[in-house]
Structure 1
Amino acid sequence: MSWQIRVEHSTGYRYSSSVLSSYNEARIVPQTGSGQLTLEATVRTEPAVTTYRYWDYWGTQVTAFDIHTPHTELVVTGRSLVRTAPEQGLPADAASWSALRADETADQYVEFLRPARYTPDHPELVEAGRELAAAHDPADFVLAVGDWVRDRLTYRPGTTGVHSSAVDAWQQCEGVCQDFAHLALVLMRAAGMPGRYVSGYLHPLVDAEPGETVEGQSHAWVEGWFGDWWGFDPTNAVRAGERHVVVARGRDYDDVPPMRGVYSGGTSSSLGVTVNVTRLG
């Protein structure tokens, strides 16, 4: 069963001295596709400027803008209304390991099989992924990967940063949803299963009351390909479903940051990120 969710995401920065110019990209507009439909979406900035949009290589809508008037704060707010996709069943024609490791699969999904900036190879992780694959068929393998990751990582905010890799989190034995997703992807790719990183929002309440606004979460999970793309949330041990709002997909976090930019001026400090979500139906 799909939900209709309103999302308000606000993020900002304060500068120690006036910024004379800045160039920015925001990835905060939910996607339409794979069962999800974005009904409304706006992105506003303070200071107010003209924005334009484009779709990047990975299919994410990017809101781009530049500011050339002096400012000491920047706030970006995205508001959207989304009909989410219900929990997806396993692919009817799930691929075997031999099919996943065939040359044609490797050619088609090569970008989701190779190491990336935050999902590098590590001998012990490669071996763990291959051992899990030897003991499970592809559908059960994704679930086993989630169990393996949760057995080794403790969810603890503040122990890693956006530039931490899967190996960093694994060695520290703790991290956040981004780290859970990155570590799962290392194992999946080591076994020969294409895997992609998904960034978006999570409604925290399974039994959310329509009309009630609560604090939501910027969130990350994974999708594995074994005949079709199938989403799984390793942090919460659930299939991706109606509580998950997809914003961006890529190889890892480096492909999907909510905000990215450069500026000329003083040092910056974050004003924080707030996400409010309301189930409407």
Structure 2
Amino acid sequence: MRLKISHETVYRYGQPIRNLVQSLRLTPSVFEGQKTHEWQIDVSGGVKGPGFRDGAGDWIEGWTVRGPVDHVTVRISGRIDTRDTAGVLRGHREMIHPLTYLRDSPATRPDDALRDLAQSVEGTDRLDLAHQLSMSVSDRIAFRPGVTHTGTTASEALALGEGVCQDHTHALTAIARLCGLPARYVSGYLHSTIDGQAHDAAHAWAEIHVEGLGWVGFDAANRCCPDERYVRLGSGLDAADAAPIRGVALGTGSEDMDVSVRVEEMAQ
């Protein structure tokens, strides 16, 4: 599938800021399931710094904006070919050992309810266990936008029984780790939503490491493994660690953010 992606994030400040430093994880991953043809990142008024590939295989760019400015726009546009690899992350080069992803984070720290859920799931082997864990999260957390926020933890989402892809992913990574399966949070894009309509936001899913197979993606929000509709950007222990945009602004006052994402299929 050939996809065209347009992604714009606008930051607006109540008072002009004096300086902004950003770390962008917005370049598609390099693996057998996707090939990037064009990709452009632009930060309004920004100066691009050095880029590097981190130990997880993600490409990260640094940008600096000198003020005073009252708004900053980050724009991404590009074309990418994707293909279905049954969720398996083949050909992705990274140096971090999978066992690193057995540790939890503030967003995925388990409580008694998450421990009970993990203990209730069984599988015929490690791959089947990963599938069953994903389905258990799908069953326990209904997809419903607007009921959670960026700071909602896995335990809070499970207690609420509702949430969005971030919540499904946090819960799945938490219970997979409890079962001894290394798991991580993945950020990216999706061509369609649960109801098959055009997707208008970035997406997230989990990757679970299965011995003998490697990293395998699981999207509990959509009850499936990532296929050709998915574009992978990067990964981390949780949403904050895998955030596509991270930054520090020097100034006072409020900050508002508007995000617009468009993913379109192109003719081959």
Name the TM-score class by shorter chain. 0.7 to 0.9
Alignment of 1:167-178 (within 5 A): 167-178=155-166
Q: 2:207 aligns with which of 223, 233, 243?
A: 223
Question: Which blocks of at least 5 consecutive residues in structure 2 are unaligned?
Answer: 90-95
Report the AA paired with residue 133 of structure 2.
Answer: V
3-state SS of paired residue (2:20): strand
Paired-residue identity, %: 30
Q: For residue 85 of structure 1, report the CA deviation from its aligned partner.
A: 3.1
* Larger Rg over CA atoms: 1
Find the aligned partners of 2:66 and 2:44 in 1 and give their Cα distance: 13
How far 1:109 moved relative to its partner? 2.4
Pick closer, same or farther for the CA change 1:119–1:89 going to 2, 3 Å. Answer: closer
What displacement does 1:51 show? 4.2
The structure in which a higher percent of residues are helix is: 1
1:29–1:78 Cα contact (<8 Å) kept: no
Length-normalised TM-score, structure 1: 0.84
Aligned residue for 2:231, secondary structure, equals: strand
Partner of 2:148: 160
Deviations 1:163-205 (A, max 9, x none): 2211111112111101101101111111111112111000017
- Give the number of equivalent residue pairs: 258
Residue number in structure 2 paired with 1:22? 20
Provide the residue aligned with 2:108 in structure 1.
119
One-letter amino acid matched to 2:184: R
Of 46, 58, 77, the match for 1:79: 77
Cα deviation for residue 217 of structure 1 reads 2.7
State how far apart, in whole Å, the 2-side matches of 1:85 and 1:255 are.
27
* Alignment deviations for residues 146-170 of structure 1 (CA, whole Å, 9 cap, x no partner): 2211222122222222222111111
Kindly provide the amino acid, as one letter, of the partner of residue 218 in structure 1. A
AA in 2 matched with 1:170: L
Partner-residue secondary structure (3-state), 2:120: helix
Paired residue for 1:129? 118
Q: How does the TM-score come out when normalised to structure 2?
A: 0.88
Structure 1: segments with no counterpart, 5+ residues: 92-106, 209-213
Identify the residue that residue 255 of structure 2 maps to in structure 1.
269
| CA RMSD, Structure 1 to Structure 2 (Å) | 2.4
